[in-house]
Amino acid sequence: MTIVLVSTYDLGRQPFGLASPAAWLRAAGHDVRMLDLAVDAPDVAALRAADRIGFYVPMHAATRQVVRLLPWFRGINPAARLCAFGLYAAMNAELLQRLGVERVIGGEYEAALTAWAAEPPAAAATTDRSTVELGRLAFVAPDRDGLPDASRYAGLRLPDGSRRVVGSTDASRGCKHRCRHCPIVPVYDGRFRIVPADVVLEDVRRQVAAGARHISFGDPDFWNGIGHAMPLVRRLHDEHPDVTYDVTIKIEHLLRHREHLAGLRDTGCLFVTSAVESLDDHVLARLDKGHTRADVLTALELCREASLELQPTFVAFTPWLTRNGYTAFLADLRGLGLEERVASIQLAIRLLIPAGSRLLGLPEIAACAGAFDEQALVHPWAHPDPDVDVLARGAMAIVAAGARDGLGRAGVFGRLERLATPEAPHAPEPEALGFRLPPVPFLEEPWYC
């Protein structure tokens, strides 16, 4: 069987979501080709020769691209059987199936995808077309043979201007928390699954041999299973002492397991990303984040004491934000010394309400959110104060212009302050800000959804 696996976007990383099922499918005797459209143009010849095509949809942006491209793929190869798999697959099953996708797999997809590849055409009519698989899998090391070289993906930039080739892997999937806005919750609903350390380390070993000098862990929360995570990074550091890494960890876990912060630092962790989302306790409570503003301030202090960089991400615009609240948010970031430690896009992100979101159970969301938009793949919402929506559009325009013009984080931040409080006194903007690197290591791809 000739199978083509397609990824459209995976945060600038070489997609684990292609490499992992490729290993399973090749072990089952299939001829597998992987296409990453974030890096390469579509291989039309490979698509025309495919018996089956699988689309990896791990996040919102990737799923929108797949939805847009499905009619084109169907035109290239009308006879191929299609499958969609990944976090956003089952959440958007009805739409994907209407566009010609035969099988939709959410959750832990490798075994189900391999079973689908072996399934005769006649079985399609008697098999559940959409499932969420949460069983524990016997993971095997991902097979990245055939993916674009890691050097072609987003790299790590250091404050001195040097660049490192980045590899990526997953030590776990899912999450044991149920934050209201998180797209993981409709699929995993508080469950997570461990990838065995030997599998993770073999994946890292192969990527380091191919030139990676930094590993970005894609786990939604690296410390969901801290008893798995910390021995893993100690083994990684013992084997590759010159390789650095980064992880994502919830604020509440940073506080609960603070004694392990030095362990991250000592094993080569350059920075920790944490989905802080807001510095407003009311918003944090509505999102059911499990932390408070005071917790965030404590986590920042603990990480600084451990000489470990904490880089927060935010959902800047929500239905609960006010114009004064946005001004206070920017003032908080400057006061905490975070204005260049937060990627500019994080200052303009608008709350997404995907299919099945727990947010829909809140009365204030029900009052402002519309019907599901199959083109945007969200429930669109309007702020109760139209002026805040105008502010949000202005903030996004400034961030986009900053990226286009090489303004740098400091320049974008200053312009956002002027947008939020045009009447306040501000230092004059230099005629030519120019681009300057922030004083922290960062991944070149700043998007986060």
Distances from the Cα of 222 to the Cα of 246, 353, 446, angstroms:
10, 24, 19
Tokens at 253, concatenated:
């876990």
Contact present, 448 and 346 (Cβ < 8 Å): yes
Distances from the Cα of 432 to the Cα of 39, 112, 427, 435, angstroms:
32, 55, 14, 9
Taking CB atoms within 8 Å and a gap of at least 24, the contacts of 186-191 are: 186/91, 186/354, 186/355, 186/356, 186/357, 186/358, 187/87, 187/90, 187/91, 187/106, 187/107, 187/132, 188/107, 188/134, 191/134
Mean pLDDT by 10 residues, the chain (449 residues): 96 95 98 97 96 96 96 96 96 94 96 94 71 94 97 95 96 95 93 97 98 97 97 98 98 98 98 97 97 97 96 97 96 94 95 93 94 94 96 96 88 94 68 64 80
* 3-class state of residue 156 by DSSP: strand
Residues 6+ apart with CB under 8 A from 232: 171, 197, 200, 201
* Sheet strand arrangement including 163-164: 163-164, 156-157, 442-443
Q: What does residue 287 show for φ and ψ, rounded to 5 degrees?
A: -80, -10
Exposed/middle/buried for residue 261 (C-beta within 10 Å: 0-12, 13-18, 19+): buried
Task: Determine how many CB atoms are found less than 10 A away from the CB of residue 30.
Answer: 17
How high is the pLDDT of residue 291?
97
Helix then strand count (H, E) for the chain reads 16, 16
How high is the pLDDT of residue 446?
74
Distances from the Cα of 166 to the Cα of 61, 143, 183, angstroms:
21, 17, 25
This prediction's pTM: 0.94
Residues 6+ apart with CB under 8 A from 434: 406, 408
Q: Give the amino acid at 283.
A: V
Distance, in Å, from the CA atom of 352 to the CA atom of 359, rounded to the nearest integer, reads 10
Distance, in Å, from the CA atom of 262 to the CA atom of 307, rounded to the nearest integer, reads 8
Distance, in Å, from the CA atom of 259 to the CA atom of 231, rounded to the nearest integer, reads 14
Handedness of CA 64, 342, 14, 117 (dihedral sign): negative
Q: To which H or E segment does residue 160 belong?
A: none
Q: What does residue 174 show for φ and ψ, rounded to 5 degrees?
A: 80, -175
How high is the pLDDT of residue 432?
47
DSSP string spanning 194-242? EPPHHHHHHHHHHHHHTT--EEEE--S-TTTTHHHHHHHHHHHHHH-TT
> Exposed e or buried b for every residue in 206-241, given b needs 16+ CB within 10 A?
bbbeeebbbbbbbbbbbbbbbebbbebbebbbeebe
Dmax of the chain from CA atoms? 71
Q: To which H or E segment does residue 125 belong?
A: none
Distance, in Å, from the CA atom of 212 to the CA atom of 325, rounded to the nearest integer, reads 42
Task: Determine how many CB atoms are found less than 10 A away from the CB of residue 44.
Answer: 10
